Structure formats: C-alpha cells, structure tokens
Structure 1
Amino acid sequence: MVWNVSGLMRTCRFLLLVILFLPCEVTTSVLTVNNSTENYILDTEPGSQESLKCAVHNHTREEELLWYREEGTVDLKSGNKINSSTVCVSSISENDNGVTFTCKLQRDQSVSVSVVLNVTFPPILSGDDFQTAEEGNDVRLVCSVKSNPQAKMMWYKNSNILILEKNYQVHQTSESLQLSITKVKKSDNGTYSCVANSSVRMETKDFHLIVKAVHEG
C-alpha cells in the first residue's frame, strides 16, 4: 500500500512537471493595413482618393490605434480608434509622392504597418522663360523638373537637338537640367527647349535667350 501511494505521488509529480513545462500559447496582436501585414507601396495618381484601413487581429481586449502621416499624428474621431481605424487620403497631388502613413498599436508602438504613396505624374517643368545677356557674359538656363517616374531630359535649340559648342556645358540632376554658356555670342541667340520624356508623357518648356551687343541699350 505504501508502494502504491509512493508510486502515485511520483506519477503526480511527473504530470505536474509536464504541465508546468508545456509551452504556453501566446496571443500576439497583429496589425494589417488594407489586409497587408507588411509595409507596402501604394500606387496612385494626382486627383485620386485612397482609403487606408488598419485593423487589429488576434486581440484579447480592445486595442487603441494611432495613425501617423510622416512624423505627425493624424487626428482620429473617437469612434475611429478602437480595433479598426480608417484614414482617407483625398485630393492626392504630386507633392504627396513618397509620403508615408503608419498605423501603430497604442500600447506597443513597435507593432506597426506603413504605407508609402507612389504618386505617378508627368513631368512638371519650370524656369525663367526669357533671359537677356550681353555678348561676353556667362548665362545659365535652369529647367527645373518634377516627375515620377524620373524623366529622360535633353536640350534642343530652335527645334533641333542641341549641338554642344565648346562654351556649352550641360549638368543634370534629379531635379533640374542646366545649360551653362560661357562668354555668349550673338550666335547663341535663340530658343532653347528643355524636353522631359517619361513613361507617362513628354513635356517641353521653351527658354528664350536674347544676346545683345555690348553697345546696345
């Protein structure tokens, strides 16, 4: 009888240890934005409106959500914070390209999903339309460009591809196409066209250069 009790006690201890060391099931809240659990890029275009819905999954209690536009918080109404929250991005423009929206769990802000806006738009060109210079002076024509996707750019003169003279220098960045002309001559007089060609559309902007003789008024 003593052996049976002792054996029973050992069995109970063993079962207790097994129960203690069984892995605990951990319920971890998961966020999704428009059903995606990962950060992603949202393709859109100017004039569009996009709806971003953030939702909590596997939660065991009510969870408050936060929205950020870049580093700034987005104001949410009281009924648009718990367990799910929707942000509407309206009147999208080219200035919204690259802007990041992030949904976070209020109690643990390391739990988050971000969406980056990829706003596709044709080239937008700007710069001084007319420039006047005296012979012998240096001139720089700057054609500023905004484009997504990035455009291929080229200078034309009087409707023909610009032939680079010795005193011409072209410099291009992601934001501009520049033409520097040192010691301008009367022959540099004319209309210079900045041509930007992207997969969306080709755009052209004219720059009129008037070269005057030194003695001209």
Structure 2
Amino acid sequence: PGQVSRAAFVGRVQLRMLKCPCPPSSAGLELSVNNHAADFTLSTRPGPAISLSCLVHNSSQAEELLWYRGEGQVALKDGNKVNTSNICISPVNESDNGVTFTCKLARDKSVQLSVVLDVQFPPHLSGEETLHKEEGKDATLTCNFKSNPQAQSTWLKDSQVLTLQQNRHELYQNSELLRLSIRKVQKSDNGTYSCVVQSPLGNGTREFHLIVEDKKPVFPKEAVIAAVVVVSLTILFGIVARKDHFFKVW
C-alpha cells in the first residue's frame, strides 16, 4: 500500500508539471547594441540621425525587447520588438548629450545593455551685454556658456588679458558659467570686457560693456525731513497771516 501511495503521489506531481510548465530560464541570454556586448558611450555631433540596434543572443525562442530613454519607455511598433529592435534618434541635438538609452529583455529586465550619448559641440555663449553702474557700487559680469568637450575660459579687458587686483576682482567658474565681480567700481573700470571660451571644436567670445556713471548726490534723510518741516511750517504761517489780514480789512 505504501508503494501504491507513493506512485500515485509521483503521478500527481508529474501531471501538475505538465499543466504548469516552468518558464524558460534567461540564463545565458545576452544582448548587444550596435555590435557592442557591454555598456558603452557613443560620440556624435548635433544634426545627423543615429540608429541603435539591439539583438538577443543564445535564445531558443522568440524574445520581446524593450527600449528606454532615461527612465521613460520608448514606444515600439509590433514588428520591432522580437529578437531584434531598432530605434532612431533624429535629429540629434545638444540636449541629447548625456542621455542613456537602454535595451532590456521584457521577461527579465536584469538582462540589459545601455548606451550613453556623448554629443559634442562648440561653445555657445550668452549674457547681458551692457551694464551701467554708479561709481563706488559693485558690478558683476556673468558669461553663460555651453560646450562639449569642456572648454577653457578667460576674461579680457579692452582686448588685453585682465589683470586681477586683489580685494577688487573675484572670479567664479563652473562647467557652464564664468562670472567676474568687481568691487566698488571706478572710472578706470570703464571698458569692454570679453569672455573668451576655447575648446577643441572651436572658440567663442561674448563682449560686455561696463559703463561707470558719476556718483549721484546723496542727501541725508535728517536734512530732507527738516527741510520739509520748515517749508510746511512756513506755508502754514503764511496762510494764518493772510487770514488775519483778511479779517482786519473786512
């Protein structure tokens, strides 16, 4: 009886396995994108379109593929999902720089391969061109720029390299900004300041015109208030005096 019971149990297990087959393992499956079998960086320039082609390797069945741009899934047509999938970025622009495109296996998203776009472009500069400042005030010239690869930058004054004076000039720079601060501007600070950015793909220049104006006369508040009070009292006494004169004549 024990043997019959065990045979019946084995039969039931086999029947369940037939009814509920286990999904095939993704072990051994690999992806490639543009013939790269590992994550890579793709260098390009703005303008021309680029294509990314994802393929499944070592698969014995049809495998669905997914594409992602950053965290967002890319919509694919039905005929562009199984075993091979292609996407096109057109046109490539500067905002695509640093964006990651990832191809994933639909049933096991741990099987994936990523491409980072390295969009290279020459420097582009911007910033307020004319700045009026009263003598003795602080002035700040801000030069905004974008460049890939990263560019070298400097300031010129009237076409000559700016000589920095301690406690008067202050420089701040990051990958997209060059700022020159001048404390207590003087008439000698008048002139044209040039933000010059140099990269392997080209150079860029942005000119800023600093106009230092004469100091405006400053009146002490106390003196102004006193003058207003005196004028007001004078007018008031004048009105009272005219009233007295009017009544006497009448």
The TM tier, using the shorter chain, reads 0.7 to 0.9
Residue 215 of structure 1 corresponds to 216
| Unaligned stretches of 5+ residues in structure 1 | 1-25
User: Which entry has the higher C-alpha Rg, 1 or 2?
Assistant: 2
Residue 139 of structure 1 corresponds to 139
TM-score normalised to the size of structure 1? Answer: 0.85
Q: Structure 1's 183 and 27: CA in aligned 2 closer, same or farther, altered over 3 A? A: closer
Residue 58 of structure 1 corresponds to 58
Q: Counterpart of 2:188 in 1: which secondary structure?
A: helix
Counterpart-to-counterpart distance in 2, 1:206 and 1:181: 16
Per residue, is there more helix in 1 or in 2? 2
Residue 170 of structure 1 corresponds to 171
Residue 152 of structure 2 corresponds to 152
**CA-to-partner distance for each residue in 1:75-131, whole Å, 9 max, x for gaps?**
001110011100001111111110100000000000001000001110111111111
**CA-to-partner distance for each residue in 1:179-216, whole Å, 9 max, x for gaps?**
00011111111110000000110111101111101139
Q: Is residue 83 of structure 1 aligned with residue 122 of structure 2?
A: no
Residue 186 of structure 1 corresponds to 187
Residue 196 of structure 1 corresponds to 197
**CA-to-partner distance for each residue in 1:121-180, whole Å, 9 max, x for gaps?**
101111111111101111111111111110000000011101112311111111111100
The 8 Å contact of residues 104 and 111 in structure 1, kept in 2 or not, is answered as yes
The 8 Å contact of residues 189 and 210 in structure 1, kept in 2 or not, is answered as yes
The 8 Å contact of residues 141 and 180 in structure 1, kept in 2 or not, is answered as yes
Residue 70 of structure 1 corresponds to 70
Aligned residue-pair number: 191
Cα RMSD after superposing both structures: 1.3
The 8 Å contact of residues 27 and 59 in structure 1, kept in 2 or not, is answered as no
| Unaligned stretches of 5+ residues in structure 2 | 1-25, 218-250
Highest RCO, 1 vs 2 (Cα 8 Å, sep ≥ 6): 1
Residue 127 of structure 2 corresponds to 127
Runs of 4+ more than 4 Å apart: none
Q: Which amino acid aligns with 1:68?
A: Y
Q: Which amino acid aligns with 2:191?
A: G
Q: Indicate the percent of aligned positions where both proteins have the same amino acid.
A: 53
